[in-house]
Chain A
Amino acid sequence: MMHGKRWVIAGMILFAALAAFPFYWYSMGEDKPFPKLEMPEKASACVEKTPFMRANHMRLLDAWRVSVVRDNLFVYTAVSGKTFEMNLHKTCLGCHTSTEKFCDRCHAYNDVTPPCWECHVATGVSGEGDAS
């Protein structure tokens, strides 16, 4: 026994349509192509394996920061046995010579805006201070 059956069902259909609309809308559009990242020329492998780095680079950087700043440990020995100085500028940007063509492209694609370059100096920033 349901009162106002018509309205209830109409409402349910409207709700389902509205909830499904974004999925429908985005399935209509074409997939944005994955950005073309400029890979480093002088290195063939990253600190850890590429899938790990792709998924966890932010966690790795966080762990590096805590280790360097709080525990005085500066050297990272990867699974491969290779050692790296835990330093965003020297190690990461040493290979990825353009933050714009590597980091920013992928971050823009994924619509994330990490604030790294507010303090760390992105490549290509020479910074001739003009305000005085």
Chain B
Amino acid sequence: MTISRRKFLKTVSASCLAVTAHSAVGHGFELPGRMSPGPQELKARRWGMVVDMRRCDGRCTEDCIGVCHEIHNVPYIPKAEHQVMWLFQEPYENTFPDRSHELISKHLKNRIFLLLCNHCDDPPCVRACPTQATFKRENDGIVMIDYHRCIGCRFCMAACPYGSRSFNFRDPRPYIKTIHPEFPTRRKGVVEKCNFCQERLEVGKMPACVETCKKGALVFGDLEDPSSEIRRILAETPHVRRKPQLGTRPSVFYIF
């Protein structure tokens, strides 16, 4: 059998193309079943929170922080540079550095503010992430991290103007007092932060900090729903957001 050079090259290149094309597009995997929303899921178009500092006197913040960190397996690492925090507290000058000055009232100066991820409407961390591990969910506005995709580059930490993100410089497991198996821990080399208790919302529960606060200082609700309680509070009460001049449009509001 003889074959012309031209035909041989044609066949070989067509076969190569077929093989590469198959491996390039052949990875689409479709599940045979179908996915649907949970029956009890709490729904909102944009979740937001009000921290009412008139009700939060800072005396029991250990409670809400403790519950949050406990259920989410957040490690307690004594070394300050390695600390991991989802919910934390800072004095006024660190919370609102742009509003702080030398003549600030005592009332504000001595206050301890509760801080968490602002779940910004235009989150700079999401723009910084090179792997789309962190992203904003379009249907409820929660800024999430897919820890499977996080490569630990920490661009998001540099991009976040609020210091809401922590890096796991070491394996967190030895620093978790009691591991709660229903929520995964993190591993060394990923960034983590508050997730607005997404895992609780999906089963119809309010975020743990909101549920823990007996003083009603934390109000959680849908910012896009004009009839929600959070919208009523925001409409009636003067409030601030952290570093509004940056244009990130945080979803966490403070009332003094």
Report A's interface with B, CB cutoff 8 A.
47-48, 52, 56, 59-60, 62-63, 65, 67-79, 85-86, 89-90, 93, 115, 118-121, 123, 125-132
Contacts of A67 in B (CB 8 A): 35
B189 to chain A, nearest CB (A): 10
Q: Select from chain A the residue with minimum beta-carbon distance to B187.
A: A118
Contact of A76 among B35, B39, B175, B184 (CB under 8 A): B35
Sort chain B's interface into a size bin: 35 or more
Residue of B nearest to A49 (CB): B32
| Cα–Cα, bound, A71→B36 (Å) | 9
Known contacts A72-B137, A89-B182, A127 near B146 by CB under 8 Å:
no
Cβ of B101 within 8 Å of any chain A Cβ, yes or no, is no
Of B39, B183, B185, the residue contacting A75 (CB under 8 A) is: B39
**Complex Cα gap A63–B184 (Å):** 18
B99 within 8 A of A: no
Would B202 and A76 count as touching, CB distance under 8 A? Answer: no
* Chain B interface residues toward A at CB < 8 A: 29, 31-39, 41, 73, 75-76, 78, 135, 137, 139-140, 144, 146-148, 173-187, 202
A-B pairs, 6 with minimum CB distance: A127-B179, A131-B174, A121-B181, A74-B38, A73-B35, A119-B184
User: In angstroms, how far is the closest chain B Cβ from the Cβ of A2?
Assistant: 23
Q: Can you offer 9 A-B residue contacts whose CB atoms are under 8 A?
A: A59-B29, A74-B202, A76-B31, A119-B147, A121-B179, A121-B181, A127-B173, A129-B178, A132-B175
Contact of A79 among B29, B33, B76, B187 (CB under 8 A): B33
- A70–B73 CA distance with the chains assembled, in angstroms: 21
